[in-house]
């Protein structure tokens, strides 16, 4: 109710703006398919802003990497090629280790833990983004990440030599530590990559697998709850600074609603999509105890590596997160 009241009040303020204000069209690139819950949430956010500002700012979403490929979206926003967009920031961990905080294996393995980790990391993340001319509007988690394979896998030894879809530093390192072969593949290219044998496995949520109908090529999904990465909606800071106070209030209100709705969708979508994988013919279930124990050891190695790379900022985040548990 508080969020809704804020939005209603902001919308009312926007309606009092001068009629001479020029309408702006903001193209919003998004990496995932229109049917994905992140894209659906983004589309609702765009409509909320367009309506709330009385059409002074019209946001048009472009899903499936149709405007910019996923890896190019952040740079496009930074440089003003797009005013606003959505990106999986862990894909840019090579720029700053802080961007990978949500993808440290087995650090936060539930929605509750992921929410606490985000609360601990948000101030630092906001500062890092500000230095790159980016302003954070909202963030939504993915469901817990599991492992997809074409053939049955019961231990890390079974993974050796398998071609593995990589999308950030964490997934590439996971492949290296398990003996798999990392292949960089954007979300929009997943179906084709599996169909053509470019890759035979990946770590991702049930949502991604369901959206891309991976049961047409893969047969197993192991629930390992490795991490819950986040998508972030960002706006170019120069663009943001040029927005009227009234319209900023509208956008903030819409962003709060989107973060709430997107998080709710992520939770509800988890069970639905896993059942969808089963209905598609995949074997879905927990990993073997052997695999879980081996992956936990790998996770400890990757956590130590991330803390070293992230330095004092990363340690402060993890310490704060642990104090909240």
Asked if 231 contacts 87 with a C-beta cutoff of 8 angstroms, the reply is yes
pLDDT in tens, 236-288: 999 999 999 999 999 999 999 999 999 999 999 999 999 999 999 999 999 99
Angle, helices 289-324/169-178, rounded to nearest 10 degrees:
140
pLDDT in tens, 155-194: 999 999 999 999 999 999 999 999 999 999 988 899 999 9
Whether the per-residue pLDDT at 15 is higher than 80: the answer is: no
CA distance 41 to 172: 28
Whether the per-residue pLDDT at 325 is higher than 90: the answer is: no
Residue range 142-150: mean pLDDT, rounded: 96
Candidates 72, 68, 83, 117; CA nearest to 229 is: 117
Whether the per-residue pLDDT at 145 is higher than 70: the answer is: yes
pLDDT in tens, 85-108: 999 999 999 999 999 999 999 999
Give the pLDDT confidence score for residue 13 in this predicted structure: 45
Give the pLDDT confidence score for residue 170 in this predicted structure: 92
Q: Which CATH number fits domain 2-142+230-271: 3.40.950.10, 3.40.190.170, 2.40.50.140, 3.10.450.50?
A: 3.40.190.170
Return the C-alpha torsion angle 229, 230, 231, 232, nearest 10.
-140
Give the pLDDT confidence score for residue 45 in this predicted structure: 98
Asked if 59 contacts 28 with a C-beta cutoff of 8 angstroms, the reply is yes
CATH architecture of 146-227+280-324: 3-Layer(aba) Sandwich (3.40)
Structure-token pair, residue 84: 């606003």
pTM attached to this predicted model: 0.87
How high is the mean pLDDT of the chain? 93
Whether the per-residue pLDDT at 6 is higher than 70: the answer is: no
Give the pLDDT confidence score for residue 187 in this predicted structure: 86
Instruction: Name the segment(s) of the chain with CATH classification 3.40.190.170.
Output: 2-142+230-271, 146-227+280-324
Label residue 299 by pLDDT band (50, 70, 90): very high
């Amino acid at each position: 109710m508080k969020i809704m009241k804020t939005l209603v009040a902001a919308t009312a303020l926007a309606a009092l703006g001068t009629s001479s204000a020029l309408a702006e069209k903001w193209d919003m690139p998004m990496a995932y398919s229109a049917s994905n819950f992140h894209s659906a949430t983004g589309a609702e956010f765009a409509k909320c802003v367009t309506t709330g500002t009385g059409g002074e700012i019209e946001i048009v979403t472009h899903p499936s990497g149709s405007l910019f490929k996923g890896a190019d979206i952040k740079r496009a926003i930074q440089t003003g090629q797009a005013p606003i967009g959505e990106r999986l920031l862990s894909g840019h961990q090579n720029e700053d280790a802080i961007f990978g905080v949500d993808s440290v294996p087995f650090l936060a393995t539930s929605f509750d833990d992921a929410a606490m980790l985000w609360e601990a990391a948000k101030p630092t993340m906001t500062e890092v983004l500000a230095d790159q001319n980016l302003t954070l509007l909202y963030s939504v988690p993915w469901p817990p990440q599991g492992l997809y394979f074409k053939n049955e896998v019961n231990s890390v030894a079974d993974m050796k030599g398998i071609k593995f879809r990589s999308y950030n530093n964490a997934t590439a390192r996971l492949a290296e530590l398990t003996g798999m072969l990392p292949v960089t593949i954007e979300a929009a290219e997943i179906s084709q990559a599996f169909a053509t044998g470019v890759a035979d496995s990946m770590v991702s949520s049930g949502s991604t697998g369901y959206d891309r109908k991976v049961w047409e090529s893969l047969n197993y999904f192991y629930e390992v709850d490795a991490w819950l990465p986040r998508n972030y909606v960002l706006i170019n800071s120069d663009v943001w600074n040029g927005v009227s106070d009234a319209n900023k209030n509208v956008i903030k209100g819409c962003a709060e609603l989107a973060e709430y709705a997107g998080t709710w969708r992520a939770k509800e979508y988890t069970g639905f999509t896993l059942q969808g994988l089963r209905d598609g013919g995949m074997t879905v279930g927990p990993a073997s105890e052997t695999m879980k124990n081996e992956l936990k050891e790998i996770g400890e190695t990757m956590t130590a590596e991330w803390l070293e790379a992230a330095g004092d900022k990363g340690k402060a985040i993890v310490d704060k997160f642990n104090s909240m548990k």
